[in-house]
Amino acid sequence: MKKVFVIGFIAIGVYACSGSETKEEKTQELATEAAPAAAAAPNTSPDYEKGLSLIAQNDCLTCHKVDEKVTGPAYRDVANKYPDNEETIDYLANKIIKGGAGVWGTVPMTPHPTLSDQDAQTMARYILLLKKK
């Protein structure tokens, strides 16, 4: 059983790292997917574009989409679960940097220890902008 889990985990890692999309293509894909959110949260916030770019530059789109659960929860589901305040931003930024499991199921989120606190907070603010009003 352990072998199956290890092989599966390795296969997911290889798949996640083998994407051939450019950063620009990933940003455009996410922006297109997030377009319905523009009505609820106009992209006039400086955190919208910066967060969108940071998410596209990292491996986030491997496990998350705006409105669709993939390996991890949809960004809009995360936004709708939490209040939009500094405490939540700090909590989500910490989760982005340190990873974890248990809130959305047993599959662990990959840590991103090379991200700065500021970038992780910007990503969290972007996600919270997707909240349905």
**What ranges do the domains of the chain cover?**
21-129
How far apart CA 125 and CA 119 sit, in angstroms, is 10
Residue 91 CB: number of other CB atoms within 10 A?
Answer: 14
Query: What is the reported pLDDT for 44?
Result: 78
The architecture CATH gives domain 21-129? Orthogonal Bundle (1.10)
Residue pLDDT, tens place only, 6-38 = 444 444 554 454 455 555 555 555 555 554 444
pTM, to two decimals: 0.70
How far is it, in rounded angstroms, from Cα 37 to Cα 130? 6
**Alpha carbon distance, N-terminus to C-terminus of the chain:** 44
